[in-house]
Amino acid sequence: MHHQPSGRTLGYGDLVDSASQMPMPDDVPLKPATQFKLIGKPLKRLDSAAKVNGSAQFGIDVRLPDMLVATVAASPVVGGRLKSFDASKAMAVKGVRQVLRIENAMAVVGDHFWAARQGLLALSPVWEEGKNSNVTTKTIVSDMAAVSSQKPGAVARNDGDALRKIRSASRKLDVTYEVPFLAHATMEPMNCTVNLQSDRCDLWVGTQVPTAAQGVAAKLSGLPLEKVEVHNFYIGGGFGRRLEADNVAQAVQFAKQLKGRPIKFIWTREEDIQHDMYRPYYYDRIAAALDEQGRPIAWSHKVTGSSIMARFAPSAVKNGIDSDAVEGAKDIPYDVPNVHVAYLRHEPPIPTAFWRGVGPTHNIFVVESFIDELAAIAKADPVQYRSGLLGKSPRLKAVLAMAAEKAGWQLPMRKIAERRMGRGVSAQFVFGSYMAQVAEVSVGREGDVRVHRVVCAVDCGQVINPDTVVAQIESGVNFGITAALWNEITLDKGRVQQNNFGDYRMMRINEAPRIEVHILKSGDSPGGIGEPGTSAVAPAVANAIFSATGKRIRKLPVADQLKTMT
């Protein structure tokens, strides 16, 4: 994100007129502007072969005649400003052409990336850190916990008299859950090529929102919308990161200082991770009152976190409720007569955005971990306990039964020497699809967790291409496990502490579990399948850890929480 002199964050509402404020799901033809010729073969509509043999062109592959390359460094403290720098050392690097600056960042332009990067490293910028210089993860979470305990929040659902019944209950469970800020860490680094002329602007970029990118460039360049052309390319991973146009905004602001030549801006891995727009940190209070059999008779869930929709699509926020923030929490599938769900908006100092699986990635973790806790109190089998509460959701009950059967839920697990073994389950209805997952994990003496197998059953309505369903679930499962076990963005002195895969690690190929996907035949309307795999797996893994160790995971990532166990 970028900041105006007043410190107010620039959002789409500032950059795009009201008619095009909501990014549209359209596409822009893959064709270069008439005055330029892309170096490389044109893309074919059937892209499998091109992606396999390496000939497919992504945004970072763009090469144009007379093109320069730039790389960027923004204020290490969010909201900070660039005070001063000495450009002489950068200009002494062979191949460096110019040093550019905007309010909160600087860029070095060179004949190639190596020159630009070395020039940037040679700079010694002085930053005006601003009001966020003392922000830490601890202060952010402390603030969230305080407001969560003090304010009721906006009511997203209120069936019966849940709050009163929980207060007066003799048998109840009242706990808190937390999930961290998350970066996207897409495999293709963020990039955008800009050619800004006096009468037109061309962008070569891989984006999920070409309309928004066009609007941002038009606003910042001062050109009419029809004078801005977006040449959209394949993206090397989006996951919500390329739903944002902050890279386009930054590139155009720099390009205004060097008009007339195309410039490819490349953000390094470190720069992107430390200046991403992050999956929000959520702090959840969840409680239930139980009857004599341990079944929930009242349920309360308060979600505290930032509102992505308030920035991205303000019209989607109604009566103080961010629909994304409560998805997966508001409409729990279980038969509970008294339900109260509330949302409390609390904005952190760092920008937040969608992340693969969006709201359900946090809510399903909370709901499905909590329902597992209730099953344990009732001394009930987790699958049977859920099934007994799914009388109004036969499709979800069916996938739960299938996942348990295919996983051999009642059978003993294969033992691994000196490791504790456990199975865990989750069930969800999100994105129009019903899904259940069973995870098999082991925990070593040092508290390390290994996910060995994930069995998934899904009813996503009518299926056109089963291979696509399987591929999406497999990738979503691996994406979700990576985040659940290891990923978090933390802050100290206003600075993001992680910067590359050394401290924001990815699952390695030898760590990937065996994944089995079973698709229920259905003639119902198709549901979404690109994201459910991610949101379902974290609670299944956390519940499996409880099965193996007896320790509840109420805060992600798992990381080293189990190291203290003997």
- Per-residue three-class SS string for 13-27: HHHCCHHHCCCCCCC
Query: In the structure encoding, which two tokens stand for residue 456, read together?
Result: 């998934």
* CA–CA gap between residue 138 and residue 31 (Å, rounded): 48
Look at the chain and count its residues: 566
Cis peptide before 557 (omega within 30 of 0): yes
Tokens 């291409």, residue located: 465
Domain ranges across the chain: 12-130+190-266, 151-182+278-549
The pLDDT value given to residue 566: 56
> CB of 140 within 8 A of CB of 491?
yes
The pLDDT value given to residue 46: 73
∠ Cα 40 107 356 (to 5°)? 65
In 3D space, the residue among 522, 363, 526 whose CA is nearest the CA of residue 433 turns out to be 526
Query: In the structure encoding, which two tokens stand for residue 538, read together?
Result: 């974290």
The pLDDT value given to residue 45: 60
Fold of 12-130+190-266: Aldehyde Oxidoreductase; domain 3 (3.90.1170)
* CA–CA gap between residue 106 and residue 265 (Å, rounded): 12
Query: In the structure encoding, which two tokens stand for residue 314, read together?
Result: 């303000």
- pTM (2 d.p.): 0.91
* Side-chain-side CA neighbours of residue 41 (13 Å): 10
Which pLDDT tens digit goes with each residue over 86-112? 999 999 999 999 999 999 999 999 999
Q: Beta partners for 203?
A: 194, 230
Alpha helices in 303-354 (DSSP H): 308-312
* CA–CA gap between residue 17 and residue 187 (Å, rounded): 32
Q: Which helix (H) or strand (E) holds 297?
A: strand 296-305
Q: What is the DSSP letter of 170?
A: S
Determine the angle formed by the axes of helices 210-221 and 246-255, rounding to 10 degrees. Answer: 30
Tokens 């456990």, residue located: 422
Q: Beta partners for 317?
A: 322
> CB of 532 within 8 A of CB of 458?
yes
> CB of 435 within 8 A of CB of 541?
no
The end-to-end CA distance of the chain, in Å, is 45
The set of residues, in sequence order, having a beta carbon less than 8 Å from that of 457 and lying 6+ positions away, is 399, 400, 402, 403, 406, 435, 436, 437, 518, 519, 520
Using 70 as the pLDDT threshold, list the residues of the chain that sit under it: 1-45, 566
Query: In the structure encoding, which two tokens stand for residue 428, read together?
Result: 């969800």
In 3D space, the residue among 353, 336, 294 whose CA is nearest the CA of residue 157 turns out to be 336
Q: Beta partners for 265?
A: 70, 192
The pLDDT value given to residue 48: 83
Q: Which helix (H) or strand (E) holds 176?
A: strand 172-179
In 3D space, the residue among 382, 378, 466 whose CA is nearest the CA of residue 425 turns out to be 382
- The CATH architecture of the domain made up of 151-182+278-549 is 2-Layer Sandwich (3.30)
> CB of 231 within 8 A of CB of 266?
no
* Side-chain-side CA neighbours of residue 547 (13 Å): 26
∠ Cα 164 167 171 (to 5°)? 120
The pLDDT value given to residue 10: 34
Helix (H, G, I), strand (E, B) or coil at 530: coil
Q: 10 Å Cβ neighbour count for 27?
A: 12
Tokens 């509970």, residue located: 336
